[in-house]
Amino acid sequence: QSALTQPASVSGSPGQSITISCTGTSSDVGAYNYVCWYQLQAGKAPKLMISDVSNRPSGVSNRFSGSKSGNTASLTISGLQAEDEADYFCSSYTSSNTYVFGTGTKVTVL
Amino acid sequence: QVQLVQSGTEVKKPGASVKVSCKASGYTFTSYVIFWVRQAPGQRLEWMGWITADNGNTRYSQKFQGRATITRDTSASAAYMELSSLRSDDTAVYYCARERPGGGGALEYWGQGTLVTVSS
């Protein structure tokens, strides 16, 4: 199972909005609404930010939102803050009854 | 509160095996699925497999099929991941994580991670 494709890096200034894409295939992202997004910060365990394409777990800022179109899912961070600087990974359920993660995106707040 | 506490750092030689534990507390262990995920230095997250805690059913990523074994001990509320025939590229932080009730691979609680270093 090949990894989902994400841009290596995305940057923005405080207060701006950024969007991270996650491109898969018709056998994973395009076939199911089981796309999740995770935030990884140094020294911390991953944190679930979005589930089921666009659902925000309790406690996650409403500045984070998710969407999907065809085989590509997206994570948008609005009102970018310094604390948002981290690596972000998408994941998807697949038609093989397995899961696959994305290649990861480093978000830098300028 | 829900907690997943993993065993400590391991250093292994190539060809050896490692077994990482994940002790759960704060919820009914048998009601959820535990996933194992790893991240090698500078690399992406990799899904390894999962275990359904009530009946012990497992599913593995093709990459780890035959080399990883995921088990659980319901009396101890713990899950385990054993990886055999270790290679240097197995050096990584290994995480256990609990899937949320609705499934779909949404991992809402994570262990602190266990660093496994494979070196001769």
Indicate yes or no: CB of B106 within 8 angstroms of CB of A36: yes
CB B10 within 8 A of CB B20: yes
Give me the pLDDT at residue B101, please.
Answer: 87
Q: Which residue has the higher pLDDT, B102 or B89?
A: B89
Indicate yes or no: CB of B59 within 8 angstroms of CB of A34: no
Element spanning B15, H or E:
none
Q: Can you point out the beta strands (E) in A2-51?
A: 9-12, 18-23, 35-40, 47-50
- The mean pLDDT of A97-101, rounded to a whole number, is 94
Taking CA–CA distances from A1, the nearest residue in chain B reads: B62
Q: How many residue contacts between A and B have a Cβ separation below 8 Å?
A: 71
Provide the CB-side half-sphere exposure for A84 (13 A, CA).
29
The neighbouring-strand residues paired with B33 are: B52
Nearest CB to A3 within list B44, B100, B107? B44
Indicate yes or no: CB of A99 within 8 angstroms of CB of B95: no
CA distance B120 to B73: 32
Closest CA to A105 of A27, A28, A18, A44: A18
Q: With a cut of 80, say whether residue A9 has pLDDT above it.
A: yes
pLDDT tens-digit readout, A10-66: 999 999 999 999 999 999 999 999 999 999 998 899 999 999 999 999 999 999 999
Give me the pLDDT at residue A28, please.
Answer: 95
pLDDT tens-digit readout, B22-48: 999 999 999 999 999 999 998 999 999
Q: With a cut of 80, say whether residue A1 has pLDDT above it.
A: no
Give me the pLDDT at residue A2, please.
Answer: 84
pLDDT tens-digit readout, B56-94: 999 999 999 999 999 999 999 999 999 999 999 999 999
Give me the pLDDT at residue B9, please.
Answer: 97
Residue with tokens 């701006």: A16
For chain B, what is the mean pLDDT? Answer: 96
Spell out which residues of chain A touch residue B107, defining contact as CB-CB under 8 Å: 36, 38, 46, 48
Mutate to test the interface with B, among A37, A98, A106 (most CBs of B within 10 A): A98
Give me the pLDDT at residue A101, please.
Answer: 96
The secondary structure of B25-89 as a DSSP string is ESS-GGGSEEEEEEE-TTS-EEEEEEEETTT--EEE-TTTTTTEEEEEETTTTEEEEEE-S--GG
